[in-house]
């Protein structure tokens, strides 16, 4: 015992600390570019080829892609049941398949990019702001900090957020170039040739090797200003035809801001095996050291502090665990007395100590799920110790010595208790063998509860008797069983009444069960609740042809309301992309210029609710036409807006029209906010129709025109300046007055192959058109997702159920090739529950096996199993009274409840068999056995129920705690009355005459027989 306690203490100190258990993000992102391609060309020539190839891989669940002009982004999702250890291999297979088809891609398609680390978590985010420094100067300091923190122990990946690349712009005047008769391509070639890095040879001079170096490379923008060109036997400087400036990429890359100020961030991840609390201390110490070396004006802001959050979360759960331990101890002392209660109280820390060793062996850290599992297990693991202690007390009252009493407790209870424990563990099998992401998230619940229950059996049959020998008195006063207590007499009268009115009892319980089944329809369904963290996410989606400048302007307007809010502690903004994954279940959004996301940190959970209400009103009043979605962080696998319908079809115009009809249908539900689309609106394009015959006469091709237009409007990279660790692009483009005006394009002069210039309108015409700026697809079909947030406290499953008749009618009228699928929280919940349903038969067969081993009777097996559904009566009552929804975790609790109820039933049936073995009649055996088992069953129910009280108020565990408390309480009382009534009915046991009442020989104070 001492060794176990020491090992447990050491294991506890070395256990990792996390807020939530890790689960694998089974998504890989593929990006491929084809500059100049339209959306249709990208869809047909690139996206389709990639998706068709990927679908050949067996482990793929579905592909989801969005295609924009010149780029496709494909998210490949593995099947939910893919084992985490197989994910890297499957990602490698995807890479290999995509690389194999690159030779079939059209000319000009760039090599693909892969992101198979989409699930990396950057739990620590530091933001750096500058007062009086340029963006480049600030970036230099950030890069310096990045290099220094790489020396912190256990550090993983470090990524820079919001840094803008420098660019040297050559702003040409198209009119001046045309007037001078200059060919832009010859200028570009001159710049590229002078700046090229080309080997110039090595002289082998005797014993030495001497390298040759040729000058001409550009070191700064000043080198470009002095550059002279020779055209038609005359020289002129580059600065005569171009304005040379050094700035930043235009349009910019995604921007990062803190509290409304421009910033550069560092996202810092920890290696998988690190201790997050120790890592946090080391990182903060390093940052304090670095802060002293930075100049005045550079501000450091801790945007995301995962170690602090983990410390608070683990501290809160540890406090709840200690409260549960104290509650169980109080129940033990009150029910068993001081000395007997001390035996149970010594057993609890011993079981926990060995459980910590098992957790360390399996690599399970202290986090939300494992600590919650310990709290749930507390009420269950004391049962075996209570049975052992009660048996010793009974034998001591009968006159046995301490040693004999301890020996008898072991020999009479070890195997029956093991059977009961195994049945209880079997109830958690669907959790341990659930292959979904939700199952992976809750896997530690199975391991911790199974380990603690099995360890509690070992402690109860080996260590508890030894502790009892040391703590219990050598002799105990024999109690007079001929004078039962008032409670025992009342219970006996109720029990006998239930048995005599057996059909009333059975039918009454069945009526309660039927009422519970009906009541379940009024219990709202839920996947996972929102996280109990103070952050709010503000997703802002503009029309999809919006520029990043417009996105920034709208976010600036929204952020103006945040600074004066007294409930907001701080906020950070991501313009042009979603927040970096600072929290594992984050629904991360990829980069798009029309999208921005704010992470608003409230001062408390209560303040978060007030902020949410205010921000939703601001969004509704001041941002009409902009999709603003404000929501807390998710727990478990992310879903985004909870109510979603995916409409797929091959005809995009018809698909858009049907999506509008679907949105109108959803708008009729009062529990939903206004529906939005992930894409639908078309964008403007200018089409340039070239008269090809005229163009060929002039020696001009479509490629020539496209290159000139791209150079004028967007700019084209000519060469690069090598500056320290940076590569600075030199970009040639038209002057701002020309590139930002559509009229400039119509007056454009194009150089021919002979050096002459001709107006573009002489061989081309301009006209406006519309085309989708983005197309989302799922499994190779264009798909529009119509989604909505909840307007009130109604759960998404309830709203979906209300919409179901209208949705089914809508789906039935869709044209051939179209389909409608329910997504969102309902779909993810089904994914999580599907594997549970698949594993449930294994759970039931395992339970049946252990029951048969113990009882060896099919009839008794039926009696035991028939009690399990009665737990639903208490479950439904508890959920309805508390207003809690039926979520994924609550379902796991109900499955576990089955094992607990069956265990109590086995105990009672086994007790009846023991009394029958003494030669008593069946009626008397049922009465006496039920009286003997009353207190142990009630004590177990009290310990399990009260032990879960500390987690009942919590957002995550609350529904499960209420469901199990209600189920245990209801099933306990029904077991003590329904099962005896069913037993005498099944075996046709006749009630004795009322005058011949059975003797009440088992008072509430003691149990006369061993309990399995």
- The answer to whether residue 537 scores a pLDDT higher than 90 is yes
pLDDT the model gives residue 301: 93
Whether residue 972 is found in the same domain as residue 904: yes
Share of the chain above pLDDT 90, in %: 29
pLDDT the model gives residue 264: 94
pLDDT the model gives residue 1010: 37
Whether residue 717 is found in the same domain as residue 830: no
Mean pLDDT in the chain? 84
Q: What is the CATH number of the domain that holds 86?
A: 3.30.70.1430
- Element at 33 (helix H, strand E): strand 27-33
Q: What is the CATH number of the domain that holds 1001?
A: 1.20.1640.10
Measured CA distances, 610 to 88, 118, 642 (Å): 43, 33, 21
Whether residue 184 is found in the same domain as residue 94: no
Measured CA distances, 379 to 326, 373, 870 (Å): 11, 11, 20
| Cβ–Cβ under 8 Å, residues 712 and 736 | no
Give the chain's domain count. Answer: 3
Helices (H), 247-367: 276-291, 306-336, 338-361
151 within some domain: no
pLDDT the model gives residue 478: 58
* pTM score over 0.75: yes
pLDDT the model gives residue 263: 94
pLDDT the model gives residue 1008: 36
- CA dihedral sign, ordered 345, 349, 350, 351: positive
Give the domain-ending residue among 771, 794, 829. Answer: 771
Q: What is the CATH number of the domain that holds 740?
A: 3.30.2090.10
729, with CB counted inside 10 A (0-12, 13-18, 19+), is middle
Give the domain-ending residue among 91, 118, 145. Answer: 118
**Mean pLDDT in residue range 785-809:** 90
Q: Count other Cβ atoms within 10 Å, centred on residue 642.
A: 24
Of residues 83 and 316, which shows the higher confidence score?
83
Whether residue 737 is found in the same domain as residue 882: no
- Using DSSP's 3-state secondary structure scheme, residue 55 falls into coil
247 within some domain: yes
Please state whether the peptide bond connecting residue 251 to the residue before it is cis, i.e. omega within 30 degrees of 0: yes
- Where is mean pLDDT largest: 1-5, 567-571, 622-626, 736-740? 567-571
**pLDDT tens-digit profile of 600-612?**
999 998 999 999 9
Whether residue 926 is found in the same domain as residue 990: yes
**Residue in the block written with tokens 């797929």:** 648
Measured CA distances, 820 to 158, 645, 785, 814, 964 (Å): 42, 7, 10, 9, 37
Task: Among 337-341, 592-596, 772-776, 786-790, name the one with the lowest average pLDDT.
Answer: 337-341
Please compute, for residue 797, the number of CA atoms within 13 A of its CA located in the half-sphere on the CB side. 19
CA distance 858 to 957: 37
920 within some domain: yes
Whether residue 758 is found in the same domain as residue 828: no
907 within some domain: yes
**pLDDT tens-digit profile of 436-456?**
777 788 888 889 989 998 998
**Residue in the block written with tokens 């006159």:** 399
**Mean pLDDT in residue range 165-189:** 76
pLDDT the model gives residue 1003: 37
804 within some domain: no
- The answer to whether residue 521 scores a pLDDT higher than 70 is yes
Whether residue 827 is found in the same domain as residue 927: yes
Whether residue 999 is found in the same domain as residue 873: yes
Whether residue 46 is found in the same domain as residue 113: yes
670, with CB counted inside 10 A (0-12, 13-18, 19+), is exposed
Helices (H), 856-957: 858-867, 871-882, 888-917, 922-947
- CA dihedral sign, ordered 89, 95, 100, 101: positive
698 within some domain: yes
| Cβ–Cβ under 8 Å, residues 985 and 390 | no
Tokens of 509: 């319980």
pLDDT the model gives residue 822: 93
Which is nearest to 900 in space by CA: 968, 975, 989?
A: 968
Question: What is the β-pairing status of strands 155-161 and 264-270?
Answer: antiparallel
282 within some domain: no
**pLDDT tens-digit profile of 987-1001?**
888 888 765 554 444
CA distance 553 to 28: 32
Range of the domain at 182: 166-197+215-251+683-771
**Mean pLDDT in residue range 914-935:** 84
pLDDT the model gives residue 479: 56
Task: Among 412-416, 482-486, 668-672, 931-935, name the one with the lowest average pLDDT.
Answer: 482-486
Give the domain-ending residue among 88, 103, 118. Answer: 118
Whether residue 954 is found in the same domain as residue 825: yes
pLDDT the model gives residue 257: 94
**pLDDT tens-digit profile of 59-94?**
899 999 999 999 999 999 998 888 888 999 999 999
Q: How confident is the model at residue 393 (pLDDT cuts 50, 70, 90)?
A: confident
pLDDT the model gives residue 1007: 37
**Residue in the block written with tokens 């993000």:** 25
Whether residue 822 is found in the same domain as residue 928: yes
**pLDDT tens-digit profile of 320-329?**
778 877 887 7
pLDDT the model gives residue 201: 81
Whether residue 878 is found in the same domain as residue 985: yes
615 within some domain: no
CA distance 453 to 436: 25
Of residues 166 and 1005, which shows the higher confidence score?
166
CA distance 599 to 632: 10
């Amino acid at each position: 015992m001492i060794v176990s306690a020491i090992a447990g203490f050491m294991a506890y100190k070395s256990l990792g600390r996390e807020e939530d258990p890790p689960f694998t993000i089974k998504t890989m992102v593929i990006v491929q570019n084809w500059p100049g391609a339209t959306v249709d060309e990208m869809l047909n020539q690139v996206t389709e080829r990639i998706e068709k190839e990927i679908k050949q891989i067996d482990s793929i669940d579905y592909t989801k892609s969005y295609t924009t002009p010149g780029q496709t982004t494909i998210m490949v999702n593995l099947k939910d049941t893919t084992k985490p250890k197989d994910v890297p291999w499957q990602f490698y297979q995807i890479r290999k398949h995509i690389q194999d088809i690159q030779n079939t891609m059209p000319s000009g398609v760039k090599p693909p990019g892969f992101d198979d680390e989409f699930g990396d978590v950057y739990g620590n985010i530091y933001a750096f702001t500058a007062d009086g420094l340029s963006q480049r100067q600030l970036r230099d300091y950030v890069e310096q900090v990045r290099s220094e923190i790489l020396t912190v122990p256990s550090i993983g990946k470090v990524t820079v957020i919001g840094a803008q690349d420098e660019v040297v712009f050559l702003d040409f005047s198209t009119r001046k170039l045309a007037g001078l008769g200059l060919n832009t391509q010859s200028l570009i070639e001159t710049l590229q040739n002078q700046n090229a890095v080309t080997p110039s040879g090595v002289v082998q001079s005797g014993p030495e090797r001497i390298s040759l170096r040729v000058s001409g490379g550009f070191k700064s923008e000043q080198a470009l200003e002095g550059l002279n060109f020779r055209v038609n036997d005359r020289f002129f400087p580059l600065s005569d035809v171009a304005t040379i400036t050094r700035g930043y990429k235009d349009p910019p890359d995604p921007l990062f801001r803190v509290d409304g100020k421009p910033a550069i961030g560092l996202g810092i991840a920890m290696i998988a095996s690190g201790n997050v609390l120790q890592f946090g201390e080391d990182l903060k110490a390093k940052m304090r050291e670095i802060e002293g070396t930075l100049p005045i004006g550079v501000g450091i802001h801790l945007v995301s502090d995962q170690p602090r959050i983990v410390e608070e979360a683990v501290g809160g759960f540890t406090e709840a665990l200690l409260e549960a331990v104290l509650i169980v101890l109080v129940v033990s002392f009150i029910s068993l007395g001081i000395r007997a209660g001390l035996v149970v109280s010594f057993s609890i820390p011993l079981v926990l100590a060995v459980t910590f060793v098992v957790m360390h062996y399996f690599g399970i850290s202290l986090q939300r799920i494992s600590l919650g599992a310990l709290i749930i297990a507390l009420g269950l693991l004391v049962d075996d110790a209570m049975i052992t202690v009660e048996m010793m007390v009974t034998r001591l009252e009968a006159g046995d010595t301490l040693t004999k009493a301890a020996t008898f407790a072991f020999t009479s209870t070890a195997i029956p208790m093991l059977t009961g424990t195994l049945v209880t563990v079997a109830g958690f099998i669907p959790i341990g063998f659930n292959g979904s992401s939700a199952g992976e998230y809750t896997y530690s619940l199975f391991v911790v509860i199974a380990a603690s229950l099995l360890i509690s059996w070992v402690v109860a049959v080996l260590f508890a008797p030894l502790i009892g020998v040391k703590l219990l008195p050598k002799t105990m006063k024999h109690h007079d069983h001929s004078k039962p207590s008032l409670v025992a007499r009342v219970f006996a009268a109720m029990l006998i009444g239930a048995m005599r009115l057996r059909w009333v009892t059975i039918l009454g319980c069945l009526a309660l069960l039927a009422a519970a089944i009906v009541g379940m329809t009024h219990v709202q369904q839920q996947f996972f609740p929102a996280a109990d963290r103070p952050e709010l996410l503000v997703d802002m989606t503009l029309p999809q042809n919006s520029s990043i400048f417009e996105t920034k302007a709208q976010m600036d307007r929204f952020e103006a309301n945040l600074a004066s809010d007294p409930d907001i502690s701080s906020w950070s903004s991501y313009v042009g992309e979603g927040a970096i994954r600072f929290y594992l279940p984050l629904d991360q959004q990829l980069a798009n210029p029309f999208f921005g996301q704010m992470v608003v940190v409230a001062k408390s959970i209560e303040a978060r609710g007030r902020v949410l209400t205010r921000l939703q009103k601001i969004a509704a009043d001041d941002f009409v036409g902009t999709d603003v979605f404000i929501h807390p962080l998710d727990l478990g696998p992310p879903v985004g807006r909870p109510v979603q319908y995916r409409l797929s079809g091959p005809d995009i115009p018809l698909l858009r029209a049907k999506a509008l009809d679907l949105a109108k249908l959803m708008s009729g539900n009062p529990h939903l906010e206004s529906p939005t689309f992930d894409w639908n609106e078309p964008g403007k394009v200018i089409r340039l129709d070239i008269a090809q015959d005229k163009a060929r006469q002039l020696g001009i091709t479509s490629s020539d025109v496209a290159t000139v237009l791209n150079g004028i409007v967007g700019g084209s990279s000519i060469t690069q300046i090598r500056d320290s660790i940076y590569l600075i692009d030199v970009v040639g483009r038209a002057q701002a007055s020309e590139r930002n005006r559509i009229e400039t394009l119509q007056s454009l002069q194009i150089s021919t192959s002979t050096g002459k210039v001709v107006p573009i309108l002489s061989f081309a015409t301009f006209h406006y058109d519309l085309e989708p700026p983005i197309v989302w697809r799922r499994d190779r079909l264009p798909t529009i997702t119509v989604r909505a947030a909840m307007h009130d406290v109604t759960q998404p499953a309830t709203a979906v159920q209300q919409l179901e008749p209208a949705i089914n009618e809508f789906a039935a009228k869709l044209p051939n090739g179209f389909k409608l699928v329910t997504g969102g929280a309902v779909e993810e919940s089904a994914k999580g529950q599907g594997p549970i349903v698949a594993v449930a038969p294994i759970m039931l067969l395992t339970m049946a096996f252990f029951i048969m081993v113990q009882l060896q009777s099919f009839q008794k097996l039926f009696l035991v199993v028939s009690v399990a559904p009665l737990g639903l009566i208490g479950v439904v009552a508890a959920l309805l009274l508390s207003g809690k929804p039926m979520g994924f975790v609550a379902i796991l609790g109900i499955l576990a409840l089955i094992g607990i109820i069956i265990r109590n039933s086995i105990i009672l049936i086994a007790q009846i068999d023991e009394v029958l073995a003494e030669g008593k009649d069946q009626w008397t055996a049922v009465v006496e056995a039920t009286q003997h088992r009353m207190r142990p069953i009630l004590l177990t129910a009290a310990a399990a129920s009260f032990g879960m009280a500390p987690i009942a108020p919590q957002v995550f565990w609350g529904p499960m705690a209420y469901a199990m408390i209600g189920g245990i309480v209801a099933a306990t009382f029904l077991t003590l009355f329904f099962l005896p009534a069913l037993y005498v009915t099944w075996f046709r046991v006749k009630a004795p005459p009322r005058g011949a009442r059975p003797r009440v020989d088992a008072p509430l104070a003691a149990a006369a027989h061993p309990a399995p």
